[in-house]
Amino acid sequence: MVERIIAARLAGDPTLKGLKDQIRFVRTHDGMRIDMVERADFSMFGMGNSVFSPEALAMVHTVAKAVDSTPNRLTVRGHTDSRAYAGGSANNWTLSSARADATRRAFSASGIDERRFRRIEGVADTDPFNPDDRADPRNRRISVTLLYNNA
């Protein structure tokens, strides 16, 4: 159901139509995971920060509106690639955590009740989308899991 709602909303919005391939659905033992994945020509965040690009924020709001139609509790997980970046005291652990929390805030701004969040976590580059290329842009992603009701 959520998959169809998100697909229809992305297809119906000309500014988001090109982002439909950036969202993947994976059934896990915990629930339905929605991965919002970067690619070489599409970054959700600026380099080394947790500020959404306007297109990514619109995509996140679209996902949040679809998720809002469910009663499920949620987990949000931020992922980075393995590249280190210069400057500041941040690292991939703090960056992935900050991006997960930015996603939680965007979901809340879209109407998701704060009590629905079960866990917000950053996992840095420990769970790559592409383990053969740890610098692959697709390793930078946000995962939102709609937990099964008994989780």
**Three-state DSSP state, 121:** strand
pLDDT band of residue 2 (cuts 50, 70, 90) is confident
pLDDT in the model for residue 124 = 95
75 φ/ψ angles, rounded to the nearest 5 degrees: -120, 150
Q: Which of the 8 DSSP states describes residue 51?
A: P
What domains lie within the chain, and their CATH numbers? 2-147 (3.30.1330.60)
114 closest CA partner among 77, 74, 141: 74
pLDDT in the model for residue 139 = 94
